[in-house]
């Protein structure tokens, strides 16, 4: 285990952190939004606000873990861009994207995007104790509750002034979803972090509400999985098994239960997260990696970067629930071996490939774009170090 943690710590410090530091834009703020497969940076590409929120989260947590002042400086840089360029002063909320020089570009307001800003601002507050950041997180949380909900859950996409629009940004596989497991999961993740640093009971109440939705609407007991895309009444729209989201949800929900500290909810929900973890291990862990998804029972054998990263954290979390059973820990180590062999790009000035195909060859997709960020792989490193050996 020591070598496992040591390798991941070295990867974080020598590969991931320097890579994202190199994308800092000191002229217009934030971080460059696109690097193609050939490692060419497009300095005039739009800057996704989700990307910059996730970078803020990454540097805030890397600073808390490692204590390097340079990481604090990166977090401050990311925060200032989010605060000054990504927030809508007129209608409230976070834009979907801005131009390379920080002007409004895609002014869609998506609940998912608001959640990631809350997640990042809460961690940034924890890192540097900037009360302004916490107040912005509160403001976004109140906005979600006022503008982005109905009686049964969280809605998805809106115009700049919060009129509902089709959820094109988080609908896939040929459906147009009015509600998604993915958005609810990341609102839960964001509120968990906000509650951890604030202990506001109104946030705790919404965590309980979302746990009830997971248990009663999202989790399919017969199939032992979460459903993915829904209509407004939580009717599932497609036969889809999202392996990556399931293993990510298992540990994020367990984390939320830990922070919430409500024994009645822990008792109700823990059997679900244990079942999800077990099913992913048995159904999706194949030849040392995790499959991507299965639609209509047909598996997608692509090995996507973020799915492997979340698999490591999910299996480490499963191992921590029963330290005598090392199968999950061994699975996490095998995933790391797969990542180091096939997904980490060995070229200078790069990071991870987006995915490998069924023959383990890299798929030619961008190294950086609005969804490709240090959130999944950076967080995997941070979680493993925190959980298994901070001082290793």
> Does the structure show a pLDDT above 70 at 353?
yes
pLDDT of residue 99: 98
Cα-Cα-Cα-Cα dihedral of 71, 141, 157, 292, to 10°? 50
pLDDT (tens digit per residue) in 80-113 = 999 999 999 999 999 999 999 999 999 999 999 9
What is the per-residue pLDDT across 213-248, written as a single tens digit (0 to 9) for each?
999 999 999 999 999 999 999 999 999 999 999 999
Q: Which residue has the tokens 């009645």?
A: 264
Nearest to 278 by CA among 334, 322, 318, 229: 318
Distance, CA of 7 to CA of 92 (rounded, Å): 43
Q: pLDDT grade, residue 390 (50/70/90)?
A: low
> What is the pLDDT confidence band of residue 161, given thresholds at 50, 70 and 90?
very high
Tens digit of pLDDT for each residue in 248-293?
Answer: 999 999 999 999 999 999 999 999 999 999 999 999 999 999 999 9
> How far is residue 190's CA from residue 121's CA, in Å, rounded to a whole number?
9
Contacts with 157 (C-beta within 8 Å, 6 or more apart), sequence order: 108, 109, 110, 111, 164, 165, 166, 167, 168, 169, 170
**What average pLDDT does range 333-341 have in this prediction?**
98
Which of 240, 243, 221, 216 is closest to 229 using CA atoms? 240
Report, as an integer, the average pLDDT of 180-192: 98
Report the distance separating Cα 31 and Cα 274, nearest Å: 38
Average pLDDT for 195-214: 98
Max Cα-Cα span within the chain:
55
Cβ atoms of 316 and 332 within 8 Å: the answer is yes
Question: What's the pLDDT score for residue 1?
Answer: 77
Average of per-residue pLDDT values in the chain: 97
Q: What percent of the chain clears pLDDT 70, i.e. is strictly above it? A: 99
Domains of the chain listed by start with CATH number: 2-388 (1.50.10.10)
Q: How many Cβ atoms sit within 10 Å of the Cβ of residue 242?
A: 25
SS3 31: strand
- Is the Cβ–Cβ distance between 51 and 114 less than 8 Å? no
Task: Give the C-alpha separation, 384 to 63, whole Å.
Answer: 16
Dist CA 383 CA 42 (whole Å): 31
* Residues present in the chain in total: 392
In angstroms, the CA 31 to CA 17 distance is 13
Residue 240, both tokens: 């889809």
Q: Give the residue-averaged pLDDT of 177-192.
A: 98
**What residues pair up with 299 in beta bridges, in sequence order?**
294
Rounded (10°) CA dihedral 358, 380, 224, 196: -160
Answer yes or no: is pLDDT of 392 > 60.
no
């Amino acid at each position: 285990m020591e070598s496992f943690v040591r390798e991941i710590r070295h990867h974080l410090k020598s590969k991931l952190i320097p890579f994202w530091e190199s994308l800092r834009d000191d002229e217009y703020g934030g971080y460059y939004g696109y690097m193609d497969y050939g490692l060419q940076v497009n300095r005039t590409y739009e800057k996704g606000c989700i990307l910059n929120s996730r970078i803020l989260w990454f540097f805030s947590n890397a600073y808390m873990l490692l204590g390097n002042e340079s990481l604090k400086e990166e977090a401050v840089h990311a925060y200032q861009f989010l605060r000054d360029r990504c927030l809508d002063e007129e209608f409230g909320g976070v834009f979907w994207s801005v131009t390379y020089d920080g002007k409004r570009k895609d002014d869609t307001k998506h609940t998912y995007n608001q959640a990631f800003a809350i997640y990042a601002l809460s961690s940034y507050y924890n890192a540097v104790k900037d009360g302004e950041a916490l107040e912005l997180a509160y403001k976004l949380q109140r906005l979600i509750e006022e503008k982005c909900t109905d009686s049964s859950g969280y809605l998805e996409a809106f115009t700049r002034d919060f009129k509902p629009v089709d959820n094109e940004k988080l609908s896939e596989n040929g459906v147009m979803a009015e509600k998604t497991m993915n958005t609810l999961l990341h609102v839960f993740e964001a509120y968990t972090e906000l509650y951890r640093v604030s202990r506001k009971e109104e946030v705790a109440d919404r965590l309980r509400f979302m746990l009830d939705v997971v248990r009663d609407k999202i989790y399919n007991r017969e199939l032992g999985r979460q459903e993915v895309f829904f209509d407004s009444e939580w009717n599932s729209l497609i036969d889809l098994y999202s392996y990556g989201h399931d293993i990510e949800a298992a540990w994020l929900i367990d984390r939320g239960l830990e922070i919430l500290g409500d024994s009645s909810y822990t008792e109700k929900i823990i059997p679900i997260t244990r079942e999800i973890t077990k099913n992913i291990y048995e159904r999706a862990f194949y030849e040392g990696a995790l499959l991507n998804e299965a639609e209509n029972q047909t598996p997608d054998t692509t090995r996507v970067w973020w799915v492997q990263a979340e698999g490591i954290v999910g299996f480490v979390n499963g191992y921590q629930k029963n330290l005598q059973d090392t199968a999950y820990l061994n699975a996490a180590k095998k995933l790391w071996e797969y990542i180091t062999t096939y997904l980490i790009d060995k070229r200078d000035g790069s990071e991870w490939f987006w995915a490998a195909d069924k023959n383990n060859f890299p798929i030619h997709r961008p190294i950086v774009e609005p969804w490709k960020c240090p959130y999944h792989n950076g967080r995997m490193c941070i979680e493993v170090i925190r959980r298994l050996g901070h001082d290793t």
